[in-house]
Structure 1
């Protein structure tokens, strides 16, 4: 039997619990960090050597009890004694970071700090020093412990089978098995150290976290320029059958100029635009484009664009992120092929000797390395030229935590969101759907006017009227695209196509592009309706004015609309909020974002009145 197979039963569970308990008390265990210990527990669960319920339950108890006791111990030690212990361990900076976070107060701060890499135990210690109330500390400790255990035990369970298969294949090569385990441990430790250093560098560069958006304004022409670069580049690559994608230069450019969320949003919109014109599978890779744009946006906080080594790092990271995320999509969509002949030939030659996942990754990486070299070099060259131009409008701060949490601060939110779920369930009866849409209009109005709370389900006929008017508005805005697409579909008839050529394809593509444009202007149209009703929502000049206030804001909320829809359909958020229907919750989040957008882009008189 192999080493990991011998680790089983209650002995392994108690060993893991003991190590976690000691670490939570504040005793450094560099040879057995909690992340790695829990991952080993996940591997043991996969191998059937431990009871998963006992494993998860006892580790949670060990972490919670250890952290609670650790808080009391450090409270008795005091600041001076703790610093004497921390200096030889070089722990002053992490303790200082934890103290800064805890000064903001509240259980959410404890929850967040306990999940940040490298701050889990330090947060416990500083909670005792700074006098965080026990009830507040426990309110943040318990949910963070649940996520921490679930995440790393799940990670170990997910990768447990391939690790055990590797060890089974090496039963007669014990040295090889030991080396494999040692390599895995080294990778985990390097990732922990690298993540901690990267977060510190990002914070020193001005990054305030993934949910706090500072949307630097780009010129009104820069957004179409980036979309055009992506669209034209990919069209050129497909038309000439080049061994490249050429679809991410504009995404990286937007990320470097305006930050992570703007770059990622441009990537999503580019893929939607391409998918609706000449490359139907492009929408499947929207998450890849978002990740590349987000990564490029993070690089601006590290000042990579200002030095040659930074250019090389950005190229390597973008290529790696793209290949890593594209590989599983390739396996699901096209059996491992990337759609580029060069990469597909590499996959075909390797798939007979290596696992398909490895062959698909190498084939994808072979295309991404030169592709991202061209994209990064071109984007940074253009960024240097555009950086000399002054900003046309002010930057906008947008905190995404507020739309996702305001529901739970509202009175009777459970009943009100369940009514919305019922409306969703019976939307096919028309009236419930119109009622829900009108309710979202009311919610957006409240947020715009500074009252971020889930409203009552009163004045139902007025809400139904609002729902009918808003539905009519978006039907009118979508009508030109629908008409053009229908005409294009008719012209695709073989008997007509022989005489008119590819006119049908062109019209169908134009109709689809119009629908993407309606998605982008969805928020400005909604905001116009909140301000002035039906006619105002058809005022093209007023809509363009809202677009010009901060183009980055418009692009980000358009991308967030698609992201919220996908999350709602998949029901991922149901893991957090239990039985509440995810689409209803996501609709409330969207309506809150729409209210914020309306407030930020309303003409000056309303802003002055609100002030």
Structure 2
């Protein structure tokens, strides 16, 4: 029997309740925090050693009793004595802010603070010394205790059996995992000062924040070429079965030349294009490409490419990002293999000596080290050549911060967002979905005209009409790709291919790839089509000449906003907490962000702005 299986009965409940009571009084127990002991109780419930009703009831009562008693004890200490203790530690200002929040927020603040890791017990202490009313404290304490107990016990119970199986399968792997976590914590503490210096260097290098992006006129040609570099390199690697990926040189170059967001979004689009042509699983690694491009973009402000050894730092960063993020995806896609024979051989040779996760990481690292070295050298070589070109003027200056926050500053934003959630929830009835599409178009028009707030849900029939027109437009634009892919699928069907011959079968492969590329192009021109309809209606949105003009205004801007479309869709589908309601809310929110970006794109690319430099923010203001 393992130690976990032996947990159970009244003894376990008594020990856990005792530890929780002592912690709620304010006595720190670093070796047995409340979160951990509740997880242990949940594991014991999963093992059938503890009655869940008795365990949950008793731990809830102990937490409430201990917290109320802890409040009374700290109230005896008093505010002045607490400040005397805090001044040598320079913590008095932080305590004053917490105290002010508790006084103003009432039971809601107590409820929220007790659910934040690291603040649960301190909330009790501050409630006592600041004189928060017992009724307010109790009103926030009880629901927070319910969520706290049920959450951690449920988590332990849900994953209890896998944890027990893991311990039975090999205790040494658990020990290695614990050691790895400890090493990561130590590494984070050691690197904390370095990270602070890095942020200061970013600011001094011209970085204005993670949501700011400027696309200069030079990027008009560079970013589309970067996609070509990625696709060509990866196609060569796949076709010749090279021991590399060769799919990130363009992503790194885009980050160095145009900044983090341009590098990240271009990496996402490159993966989608590869997935739709010759590498079906490339889309699964889009998040890796985004992180590599974003990391390379940060190096632009650190000016690593101008240092003698800066390329080594860049190589190390993008290699670490790629290996760390690719490893879990490898398990989801191919059982831990990287897809490159050399890396898979490293993984297979180490699985008998190391945990599978570590072996898979080393197998991925064995491929990423030379692959990212090649990518960094190519990217820096091209970037240095571009740096010798004469300076150019013009460009687009984007600040994404407002697009992500404007909704919360709009009047009646809760009601308007709730209306969007209801429309999405009942989109299967068609009319609500069309109404939501029309509302998003109305929002884009409002942002294009310089108004940065969510519009009202008025003129509903007009919105439904607009939503229907937009839906039909994107169906029309998608039809060629669907038809070509359908013909290609028929020619490559195993039952049809022998009858038509190998030549027609190869043609079917070409048509299938062409259809997928067309669907990718529809994604790229999504915002130009949207902007054309917002300006001139249905006919304008089908005008190849007008859409081409918008694309020529700043192709890099179109590429970046297309990548942002994919990223926002991914964030929306993931949802807030992975629940149905969370997904609905997050999809509506990301749709509002997308509509705001689309409105700014329309403002930048409308013909009246083509006479000079297009600068501004995604807020619709300068």
User: TM-score, with normalisation over the residues of structure 1?
Assistant: 0.73
Distance 1:64 1:216 in 2: 52
Q: Which has the larger radius of gyration?
A: 2
Summarize the alignment of residues 181-192 of structure 1 with structure 2, pairs less than 5 Å apart: 183-184=179-180, 186-192=182-188
1:226 aligns with 2:230: no
| Corresponding residue for residue 368 of structure 1 | 368
Q: Deviations over 1:270-310 (max 9, x none)?
A: 11101111111211221222222222223334443333554
| SS of residue matched to 2:538 | coil
Instruction: Decide whether aligned partners of structure 1 residues 320 and 153 sit closer, same or farther in structure 2, where only a CA change above 3 A counts.
Output: farther
Q: Deviations over 1:186-212 (max 9, x none)?
A: 325325425644652453134699984
| SS of residue matched to 2:212 | strand
Displacement of 1:245 after TM fit?
A: 0.7
| Corresponding residue for residue 604 of structure 1 | 609
Asked if structure 2 preserves the Cα contact closer than 8 Å seen for 1:274 and 1:280, the reply is yes
Deviates more, 1:62-71 or 1:246-255: 62-71
Displacement of 1:229 after TM fit?
A: 0.9
| Corresponding residue for residue 453 of structure 2 | 452
Instruction: Decide whether aligned partners of structure 1 residues 74 and 249 sit closer, same or farther in structure 2, where only a CA change above 3 A counts.
Output: farther
Show structure 2 runs of 5+ residues with no match: 134-140
Q: Deviations over 1:148-204 (max 9, x none)?
A: 999999999999888877766788xxxx89975873563253254256446524531
Show structure 1 runs of 5+ residues with no match: 135-140
Distance 2:544 2:455 in 1: 31
Displacement of 1:263 after TM fit?
A: 1.6
Asked if structure 2 preserves the Cα contact closer than 8 Å seen for 1:214 and 1:397, the reply is yes
Displacement of 1:435 after TM fit?
A: 3.3
Question: Aligned residues, how many?
Answer: 578
Q: Deviations over 1:550-609 (max 9, x none)?
A: 555433331232233334445446659658565444433432332233334443399999
Instruction: Decide whether aligned partners of structure 1 residues 355 and 403 sit closer, same or farther in structure 2, where only a CA change above 3 A counts.
Output: farther
Asked if structure 2 preserves the Cα contact closer than 8 Å seen for 1:212 and 1:401, the reply is no
| SS of residue matched to 1:247 | coil
Deviates more, 1:223-232 or 1:290-299: 290-299
Distance 1:203 1:143 in 2: 39
Distance 1:329 1:483 in 2: 33
Displacement of 1:262 after TM fit?
A: 1.8
Instruction: Decide whether aligned partners of structure 1 residues 185 and 571 sit closer, same or farther in structure 2, where only a CA change above 3 A counts.
Output: closer
Instruction: Decide whether aligned partners of structure 1 residues 418 and 236 sit closer, same or farther in structure 2, where only a CA change above 3 A counts.
Output: closer
Asked if structure 2 preserves the Cα contact closer than 8 Å seen for 1:47 and 1:161, the reply is no
Instruction: Decide whether aligned partners of structure 1 residues 595 and 63 sit closer, same or farther in structure 2, where only a CA change above 3 A counts.
Output: farther
Displacement of 1:342 after TM fit?
A: 1.4
Q: Deviations over 1:51-76 (max 9, x none)?
A: 79689979998999999999999985
Distance 2:213 2:143 in 1: 31
Distance 1:68 1:550 in 2: 65
Instruction: Decide whether aligned partners of structure 1 residues 439 and 179 sit closer, same or farther in structure 2, where only a CA change above 3 A counts.
Output: closer
Deviates more, 1:382-391 or 1:273-282: 382-391
Displacement of 1:324 after TM fit?
A: 2.7
Distance 2:268 2:344 in 1: 25
Distance 2:443 2:18 in 1: 51
Please point out which of 201, 205, 215 is paired with 2:201. Answer: 205
Deviates more, 1:2-11 or 1:279-288: 2-11
Distance 1:169 1:199 in 2: 38
Asked if structure 2 preserves the Cα contact closer than 8 Å seen for 1:319 and 1:369, the reply is yes
CA-atom RMSD in angstroms: 5.4
Displacement of 1:237 after TM fit?
A: 0.5
Instruction: Decide whether aligned partners of structure 1 residues 144 and 325 sit closer, same or farther in structure 2, where only a CA change above 3 A counts.
Output: farther
| Corresponding residue for residue 274 of structure 1 | 274
Displacement of 1:265 after TM fit?
A: 1.0
Displacement of 1:255 after TM fit?
A: 1.9
| SS of residue matched to 1:337 | coil
Instruction: Decide whether aligned partners of structure 1 residues 294 and 270 sit closer, same or farther in structure 2, where only a CA change above 3 A counts.
Output: same
Deviates more, 1:219-228 or 1:481-490: 481-490
